[in-house]
Amino acid sequence: MTATGRLVTAVAALLMIGAGPATLGADANEADAAAVMPDTAIVTTAQAEVTEIEARVPVTGSLVARDPVQIHANISGYQIREILAEAGDTVAAGDVLLRLDDATLGARLAQAEAEYSRAEAAVSQAETEIVSAEAMLTQSVSVLERTRSLRRSGSAAQAVLDDAIANEAAARASANSAAQGLAVAKAQLAQALAARRIAELDLSHAEVTAPVSGLVVSRNAEIGAMSGSGGEPLFRLIAGGEIEMAGDVTESGLAQIDNGDRVELELAGIGAVAGQVRLVPPAVDPVTRLGVARIALAPDPRLRIGIFANGWIITDRREAVTVPATAVLADADGARLQVIQDGIVETRPVQAGLLWQGRREILEGLAPGEWVIARAGAFFQDGDKVRAAPMPDKAAP
């Protein structure tokens, strides 16, 4: 029995039990037939068109600081005297955030400077001793040479020569000792210089400054508290004030995304926000099977860390041949369409691609402009005759 015969039989049976014509249109959803004619069935059709499609990967997460900064005091045990920044303040690199009590630190610097001055004087004294010792050595050497000459000519006794030799040796020892004394004095001067530098640094650390420009997001410092008394930072900053999204992506979706991909997000209390992938995660959590991608966002004063966000990463966008998704039949044998040519149904295997906004991409097997049954089903077979009724707002073939 042909497809038309089967439709006529179905209509007759329904009329006998009191069913109206509308019932046939609701129940024959596989064929999507709108009416039955004596020779052919009328079917809803759609034309293959070249349209824009997108491939998307879902992403869900929260807003975080791109580069969080923790600020601690570099010296411990000093009382916080003054606080100059609060959460929400925008600060520049080098701005003073708080000051510690620096009375003790100032005294230590003065002590270090005095010790450095003493070491400098010791070096000067050692250098003077070297000059004196070298002069004595020169004189002793000269006396020894004259005495040896006199001794060779018989004009000087051996005892005189022995005294000259002893004096020269003593002068040489004094010169060596003076040189070593200078080395010790210079070492003490270097040590005093280092101590003075440390004291200067400690005093400078009495002012806790911002290491980078950014936004202060929290303050734990309190007047009267001791610096370094707890593990919590005195302040937390967002470097540059840059806030981004840390978004969970499934392990299957990670293979599709790349740095720079456009992202469309919906932020709680804010609405639609655009961004782009800054960092594709290098690892996946073995428990959740998710990777955390970093999504860069444009500066916006409404952004707050911790805000929930979800949306889509757009991995591809292209022009392609598409048909309504309902026109594609798919099973273990693959995808196929029911194409209408000269009023005859042809079941044609195709290669289907992306699904986007109710339309399915056809990679192979269909040309733009061809007509297909809009809601295909097993009702029609190759060779069946049909009359085409286009989808709303579409011209008939």
Residue 75's H or E segment, with its range, is: none
pLDDT over 90 percentage in the chain: 56
In this prediction, residue 27 carries a pLDDT of: 40
| φ/ψ bin of 369: left (φ > 0), alpha (ψ from -120 to 50), beta (otherwise) | left
In this prediction, residue 393 carries a pLDDT of: 55
Query: How far is residue 81's CA from residue 88's CA, in Å, rounded to a whole number?
Result: 21
Torsion of CA 141, 145, 148, 150, to 10 degrees: -130
Reading the block at residue 390, the tokens are 């286009």
In this prediction, residue 150 carries a pLDDT of: 80
The per-residue pLDDT of the chain, averaged, comes to 85
Residue 107's H or E segment, with its range, is: helix 103-153
Place of tokens 């303040």: 89
In this prediction, residue 392 carries a pLDDT of: 61
In this prediction, residue 196 carries a pLDDT of: 94
Reading the block at residue 57, the tokens are 């990967």
Reading the block at residue 105, the tokens are 């630190």
pLDDT over 70 percentage in the chain: 88
Q: Please list, in sequence order, all residues whose beta carbon lies within 8 angstroms of the beta carbon of residue 395, skipping any fewer than 6 positions away.
A: 47
Query: How far is residue 149's CA from residue 160's CA, in Å, rounded to a whole number?
Result: 12
Does the 68-101+206-237 domain belong in CATH 2.40.50.100? yes
- How is domain 103-204 classified at the CATH fold level? Helix Hairpins (1.10.287)
Residues (pLDDT < 50) of the chain are 1-38, 394-397
- How is domain 3-53+319-390 classified at the CATH fold level? 2.40.420
CB 174 within 8 Å of CB 166: no
- pTM of the predicted protein model: 0.64
Name beta bridge partners: 59.
311
Burial class (CB in 10 A: 0-12, 13-18, 19+), 360: buried
Q: Please list, in sequence order, all residues whose beta carbon lies within 8 angstroms of the beta carbon of residue 196, skipping any fewer than 6 positions away.
A: 109, 112, 113, 115, 116
Domain ranges of the chain: 3-53+319-390, 57-66+241-317, 68-101+206-237, 103-204
Pairing type for strands 359-364 and 308-324 reads: antiparallel
Among the listed residues 106, 57, 98, 52, the one whose alpha carbon sits nearest the alpha carbon of residue 79: 98
In this prediction, residue 176 carries a pLDDT of: 86
Architecture of the domain delimited by 57-66+241-317: Beta Barrel (2.40)
In this prediction, residue 73 carries a pLDDT of: 93
